Amino acid sequence: MAQLLHAGWASHPLITGSQPLAPSPIIHPFTNVESRELSGEEILELIESYIAAAQRAMEAGFDAIQVHSAHGRLPCTFLSPAVNRREDEWGGSAENRARFVQLICRGIRARIGNDYPILVKLGLKDYHPEGKSLADGIFTAKVLESEGVDCIEISEGFEAELHYHIHRDAMNPYYTEECRQTRRSLSIPLIQVGGMRELKDMQSILDENIADAISMCRPFINNPHIVRDFRENVTRESDCISCNDCFRFQPGKRHQCTQV
């Protein structure tokens, strides 16, 4: 599956050579770089860019695409009132804030047909005092389901504190309650991510019908063969300690686990 991602205000001029883009002019709290507000014409161009990227991924042989709309990426910033301060059709109400990712998914479905899987990684809730509520996130999830999205991966949106959930003291699944509540409102499959370190926790989420699948990131950086090791009973848990050292930006170097 190809993940379609625009970093938006989370990008940095040292990497991109240009000013970050966002629905509103705002300074990123972790990079201290101010974003440039997108015009209405630019928003429509970006929607078309997502659609074209999905078509290229399909033609290249990917089995599915996922639109990344979490973790402060561009669609996520449209969804968050903490970042999106527009007063036009792209901001204000939950309906307007959802329009950007809604039209992306609608356009992709129209372009690539009904038989190709479209997934969305959705920042369901912001962990910020001015952010969107869980109810807003579930509203967006229902909108995306109505646009033909086949599956939603439940994650987080904008956070006031960097790595709000991902730290050494958080070694068990999070977003479980968010996923459980979303399940009550949607009929399409859900994927749960976050804090997946022990096989018993993953199995419990599936057995309790909280989610239909499990997603991991850092455990794969720690051990790319962890699924095989689970299957062969080599291990029952990941050695990842959620230290986040693998995600420290080091120019010219690849992401890698510093614990092995």
What is the structure's pLDDT at 162?
A: 66
Domain boundaries in the chain? 2-247
Q: Is the pLDDT of residue 91 over 80?
A: yes
Among 179, 70, 51, 68, smallest CA distance to 116 is for 51
* Dist CA 183 CA 82 (whole Å): 26
Going by DSSP bridges, is the β-strand pair 65-69/151-159 parallel, antiparallel, or unpaired? unpaired
4, 54 Cβ separation under 8 angstroms: yes
User: Confidence band (pLDDT; 50, 70, 90) for 151?
Assistant: very high
46, 77 Cβ separation under 8 angstroms: no
Q: Which amino acid, residue 86?
A: R
- CATH architecture of the domain with range 2-247: Alpha-Beta Barrel (3.20)
Instruction: Indicate the average pLDDT of the chain.
Output: 92
C-alpha radius of gyration, the chain, whole number: 18
What mean pLDDT comes out for the span 78-102?
A: 97
The per-residue pLDDT for range 175-226, each reduced to its tens digit, is 999 999 999 999 999 999 999 999 999 999 999 999 999 999 999 999 999 9
Task: Identify the burial level of 196 via C-beta atoms within 10 angstroms of its C-beta, where 0-12 means exposed, 13-18 middle and 19 or more buried.
Answer: buried
Among 99, 80, 96, 95, smallest CA distance to 26 is for 80
169, 137 Cβ separation under 8 angstroms: no
What mean pLDDT comes out for the span 133-158?
A: 96
Among 115, 174, 129, 122, smallest CA distance to 144 is for 122
Alpha carbon distances (Å) from 33 to 36, 71, 83: 10, 17, 14
The per-residue pLDDT for range 109-136, each reduced to its tens digit, is 999 999 999 999 999 999 888 999 999 9
93, 84 Cβ separation under 8 angstroms: no
Which DSSP category does 35 fall into? P
Q: Is the pLDDT of residue 150 over 90?
A: yes
